[in-house]
Structure 1
């Protein structure tokens, strides 16, 4: 395993305030997909904004309400819409890791997000225990998508990220070897040339390293 370093990325999240995030989700129609009234979303964001520590916090919709397959096409990079790779038709079956509990509510907050640049060239198998030792929790896939929806600059070529809080369980209970990630397509292979520079939801093997993928994590989640 590479030497463990404190979570200190060169990229600094600059999230909009929570009411602005709510308006962004409403503009994209996420609230309708989630079955949440626009007024409820605005009220939740407004109440959270006045609470202590709301600055730099991400507003998320629970994946049971807004799955990755519905959120990915809303991503944009250089005018190109996001997509899920063709060999990940089961993307919505990737659920939080055992022991990683999301708040039991349609809307919740994520605090202290970091892209994990300093873990580039680590494997998911190496990064997961290291994040735990640092008291951090890996983002699930939909949380990573929500982040890029609110702050597109979080996704930049050669500095993208994995969301290893999500994993698929096989019928025998074993974990699928794929781990989800969000990066920028080169327009090669099955992606198609028309998708060059588009945001891409895909996967990498749990034991493989990639120099251009960090590991997105947070300090916690709350209502």
Structure 2
């Protein structure tokens, strides 16, 4: 079967247009033109980094344009996520205490670029790690020379590719941790994306661990 045609520049434009359509510029207190100009330098890097990568599927995509909490708060971005073909907005699990989210930072293995936006490449929702505890999934992921996703990256995945989040194909975000055994995860609840958390040592049949290539490309 002939591989699907994939144009990285067109895909970058689609992702940027989607963020604008959802209202990201206003949430960042920027005009649309300023927001577009801010992330535009990443377009060439997306084209270069996605070279030879296959076209997006529900399970795996060549790259994501990641907007960080430095520009738009997590809960604001979460509220703009939906399941594919649905309208109910994403929401935060009630088990997050007030002030909890800012405590979850990228793990030391990740080199996340500073600033408001960056690119992540070869992103996979982690079906092969379904029913593996995040602790075991980390061994699988790092054994493939890959690294897990952060909260910011997981939100970008579901925002820009809603079909990535599907029944029994949800994913942990092991790249964001605080000083305890909790691991953030995105799953489906009440017909919408839900940002919750699970324990680092507990497996779930419906929950894998998303991963990507280690390198992240920022604006600097």
Q: Note if contact 1:17-1:49 (Cα within 8 Å) is conserved in structure 2.
A: no
In 1, distance between residues paired with 2:125 and 2:49?
Answer: 23
In 1, distance between residues paired with 2:73 and 2:140?
Answer: 27
Aligned to 1:22: 16
How many Å apart are 1:48 and its aligned residue? 3.5
* Structure 1 residue ranges without an equivalent (≥5): 1-13, 170-175, 186-195
Q: Please give the root-mean-square deviation of Cα atoms over the aligned residues, in Å.
A: 2.2
| 1:136-151 alignment runs, 5 A limit | 136-151=146-161
TM-score calculated relative to the size of structure 1? 0.79
In 1, distance between residues paired with 2:115 and 2:13?
Answer: 18
Q: Deviations over 1:69-123 (max 9, x none)?
A: 2211111122111000111131232110123120123221000101110111110
Q: Deviations over 1:139-193 (max 9, x none)?
A: 0011011111111100001111111100112xxxxxx1110000100xxxxxxxx
| 1:59-208 alignment runs, 5 A limit | 59-77=65-83, 78-89=86-97, 90-169=100-179, 176-185=180-189, 196-208=190-202
Runs of 4+ in 1 over 6 A off after TM superposition: none
TM-score calculated relative to the size of structure 2? 0.80
